[in-house]
Amino acid sequence: MAGPRTISLDAMGGDRGPAVVVPGAALALQRHPDIDFLLVGDRVRIEPHLAEHPEVAERSRVVHTDITVEMQDKPSQALRRGRGSSMWLALEAVQKGEAACAVSAGNTGALMAMARLILGTMPGIERPVIAGQWPTVGHNSIVLDLGANIGATARQLADYALMGAAMARALFGIERPRVGLLNIGVEEIKGVEEVRQAHAWLKENDLPIDYRGFVEGDQIGQGIVDVVVAEGYAGNIALKTAEGTAKQMAAYVREALTSSLAAKIGALLADSGLRALRERMDPRGFNGGPFLGLNGIVIKSHGGMDAFGFASAIRVGYDMADSNLIAHLAADLEALHGKLSSNKSPEAKQA
Amino acid sequence: MAGPRTISLDAMGGDRGPAVVVPGAALALQRHPDIDFLLVGDRVRIEPHLAEHPEVAERSRVVHTDITVEMQDKPSQALRRGRGSSMWLALEAVQKGEAACAVSAGNTGALMAMARLILGTMPGIERPVIAGQWPTVGHNSIVLDLGANIGATARQLADYALMGAAMARALFGIERPRVGLLNIGVEEIKGVEEVRQAHAWLKENDLPIDYRGFVEGDQIGQGIVDVVVAEGYAGNIALKTAEGTAKQMAAYVREALTSSLAAKIGALLADSGLRALRERMDPRGFNGGPFLGLNGIVIKSHGGMDAFGFASAIRVGYDMADSNLIAHLAADLEALHGKLSSNKSPEAKQA
């Protein structure tokens, strides 16, 4: 088994392939000089970038393939045609223990389908989820599921809580992360049945989390919990709406600060503060959404990210591998499932 | 039947009751000097405020009651104890035709339960929804359902489209409002079954709307449609998340503009632009969420609003009554239901 140091990269994924992946690897090496890379993809397209980044070349092995998964491929097509593709081989390296994690900026649906097939899901987990970091007024929070699955049972929501907690532990070093369940009212009487049942279970059972109950959409950004658990449809809508609102606000601020000559001079004077603001909201800084619930670590980078953003995704993978997340999470999930079946069966309790 | 000019106000609703309602009425009169008010509530508490606002006193009739619905009352309690309350009588005035609409800043659940009981739902409508205005880069959009109902059938989502369109017509004077359906992917293959079925119906049938297909959460604020239709749980999460993100961004901007002496001077210079920004994002300007699907117009004001915000809610009610919304919406819904049952039955098509 490889240590956290070997990371396989789908060099052909994303809008610009190796032109982003290789410089991204270079930036990641600045933070973690001990990483070794497997660069999977078309050697002819990768090598010019390695020539520009000898520090990456020195720590990389190129695994050649000329098969690539296209952004518009449906998951079923990708599974049929994508065997041996850069995405496939990057995942297979994790399955074979040659890499501690895989990072791809390719087609999300294809990556999820392949990851499930190649790595398999953890015991008791039917479908993996996508998690992400959400900037808050404090440190980032973890939000999951961001849309891998539509609909979630109470038991799946409880699983998500442990998955998100494992990620918070890996990324932020918090031993007992505070976990909240996304709902539309803080009173216990509100909300869908699955959410209420998951709430009861998370409250009753002794788990390696600090369960804080329901949170509403407007509380995610307040950072009152480290992990926000949501059904995938709701989680995706929350994420997209927040992204849209942040962009809208940024446009308003830009407009306000260019509305007059005085405003423009004012903006110049406030430049350093505004630059800090831009850095804080920079989506590249929290790029990298892990798939959780698989027998291996897979990080999805946004397809449109630049090298700086891709490096963030590599760092997420590094931290997760470094914390031995898979083994710890498997143990946490096993303990939870034991508790839930030794109480009453989920179905009996839900009724 | 009263013209649009008579509006009944639950004078005891909201955190500050008549101290906000009466000055709010005064502000609404500045825009629409032809409104007459029914001020329903405790005469002793209302009259001192009328003394301060003789222009409101002149156009108001006080309907006394000393029964009030409390903010923490459950809907069932409110229905039991709230008969004859200020909320009840304000709604009853609409039912009796003494007022063209009712506005209350009271307990949302209680107001919804009472409104259903007193006014009844429109033919073919089981449960009313809550709509709201959403600021976009262009004019405001209408978003519904904001959380009155958890879960929605395809037919209910189609109803919401017509309800939202009626509101957009009333508020913005748009004859064929652009309508989008909130979903988590723009491809038709994604999303829950009910949303997909509603999408098919809205596309196939000739309706008094300009149906634009799916929109994602990040597109709501772009103003690409006039009406965004969502299932209530998703709609509420979108709304709350947007509110939270807007607050978070505002806090960041404040911090950026006070981070140094230069930044503070810059902020002073940019003051007029920043003031326009604040006005644009001021939630008081788009306060007032109608309940749609009832045989009468009911507007819910946020409980924490000041007079300026309450006046916005009154204006929403005025515009909706002025456009004869109920009669037009009833006709639109009847036509839709006729079309859906003359094609195949919803169940048969959904399978």
* pLDDT by 10s per residue, chain A, length 351: 445 589 999 999 999 999 999 999 999 999 999 999 999 999 999 999 999 999 999 999 999 999 999 888 888 889 999 999 999 999 999 999 999 999 999 999 999 999 999 999 999 998 899 999 998 877 889 999 998 888 899 999 999 999 999 999 999 999 999 999 998 864 444 568 899 899 999 999 999 999 999 999 889 988 899 999 999 989 999 999 988 888 888 888 888 888 788 888 877 877 777 787 778 778 888 899 999 999 999 999 999 899 999 999 999 999 999 988 898 999 999 999 998 887 654 444 443
CB nearest to A259's CB, from B244, B260, B272: B272
pLDDT value of residue A351: 37
Instruction: Please give the structure tokens belonging to residue A195.
Output: 């959410």
Using a CB-CB cut-off of 8 Å, the residues of chain A touching B272 are: 259-260, 262-263
Determine which of B139, B150, B269, B274 to mutate to test the interface with A (most A C-beta atoms within 10 Å).
B269
pLDDT value of residue A191: 60
Alpha-carbon distance B147 to nearest alpha carbon in chain A (angstroms) = 8
Rounded Cα gap, residues A332 and A329, in angstroms:
5
Tell me the average pLDDT across B295-324: 94
Instruction: Write the pLDDT tens digit of every residue in B2-26.
Output: 455 899 999 999 999 999 999 999 9
Alpha-carbon distance A77 to nearest alpha carbon in chain B (angstroms) = 15
Determine which of B252, B254, B281, B302 to mutate to test the interface with A (most A C-beta atoms within 10 Å).
B252
pLDDT value of residue A131: 95
Using a CB-CB cut-off of 8 Å, the residues of chain A touching B236 are: 184, 217
* Position B348 pLDDT exceeds 50: no
* Partner residues linked to B7 by β-bridges: B37, B101
- The angle subtended at Cα B100 by Cα B97 and Cα B103, nearest 5°, is 120
pLDDT value of residue B276: 78
Using a CB-CB cut-off of 8 Å, the residues of chain B touching A244 are: 217-222, 242
Tell me the average pLDDT across B91-100: 97
Amino acid at position B151, single letter: G
CB nearest to B252's CB, from A192, A255, A277: A277
> N- to C-terminal Cα distance for chain B?
45
Inter-chain touch B240–A259, beta carbons under 8 Å: no
Using a CB-CB cut-off of 8 Å, the residues of chain A touching B286 are: none
CB nearest to A273's CB, from B236, B237, B263: B263
Determine which of B220, B237, B259 to mutate to test the interface with A (most A C-beta atoms within 10 Å).
B237
Inter-chain touch B237–A266, beta carbons under 8 Å: no
CB nearest to A277's CB, from B74, B237, B253: B253
pLDDT value of residue B200: 93
Among residues A259, A285, A282, A277, the alpha carbon closest in space to that of B253 is found at A277
Query: What order do you get walking across the sheet with B227-229 strand by strand?
Result: B60-64, B36-41, B6-10, B101-104, B297-300, B289-292, B129-134, B141-144, B227-229, B178-182, B210-215
The pTM of the whole model exceeds 0.90: no
Using a CB-CB cut-off of 8 Å, the residues of chain A touching B151 are: 192
Using a CB-CB cut-off of 8 Å, the residues of chain B touching A270 are: 256-257, 259-260, 262-263, 266-267, 270
Pairing of strands A6-10, A101-104: parallel
Region of residue B344 (phi > 0: left; psi between -120 and 50: alpha; otherwise: beta) = beta
DSSP codes of every residue in B82-112: -TTSHHHHHHHHHHTTS-SEEEE-S-HHHHH
Q: CB-based burial of residue A32 (10 Å sphere; 0-12 exposed, 13-18 middle, 19+ buried)?
A: middle
CB nearest to A266's CB, from B191, B234, B269: B269
Inter-chain touch A244–B276, beta carbons under 8 Å: no
Q: Which residue has the tokens 């060099």?
A: A11
Determine which of B71, B130, B184 to mutate to test the interface with A (most A C-beta atoms within 10 Å).
B184
pLDDT value of residue B343: 65
- State which residue of chain A sits closest to B137, comparing Cα positions: A248
pLDDT value of residue B346: 47
> Between residues B222 and B291, which one has the greater pLDDT?
B291
* Partner residues linked to A163 by β-bridges: none
* Position B188 pLDDT exceeds 70: no
CB atoms < 10 A from the CB of B193, how many? 12
Amino acid at position B166, single letter: A
Instruction: Write the pLDDT tens digit of every residue in B31-50.
Output: 999 999 999 999 999 999 99
Task: Give B271's pLDDT tier (boundaries 50, 70, 90).
Answer: confident
By three-state DSSP, how is residue A86 classified? Answer: helix
Alpha-carbon distance B6 to nearest alpha carbon in chain A (angstroms) = 34
ipTM of this complex: 0.81
Using a CB-CB cut-off of 8 Å, the residues of chain A touching B244 are: 217-222, 242
Using a CB-CB cut-off of 8 Å, the residues of chain A touching B242 are: 217, 241-242, 244-245
Using a CB-CB cut-off of 8 Å, the residues of chain A touching B249 are: 245-246, 249-250, 253, 281
Q: CB-based burial of residue B171 (10 Å sphere; 0-12 exposed, 13-18 middle, 19+ buried)?
A: buried
Average pLDDT in chain B: 89
Instruction: Please give the structure tokens belonging to residue B224.
Output: 């690409």
pLDDT value of residue A350: 44
Task: Give B132's pLDDT tier (boundaries 50, 70, 90).
Answer: very high
Alpha-carbon distance A213 to nearest alpha carbon in chain B (angstroms) = 16
* Partner residues linked to A180 by β-bridges: A228
Query: Which stretch of DSSP H or E encloses residue A49?
Result: helix A43-52
Alpha-carbon distance B221 to nearest alpha carbon in chain A (angstroms) = 6
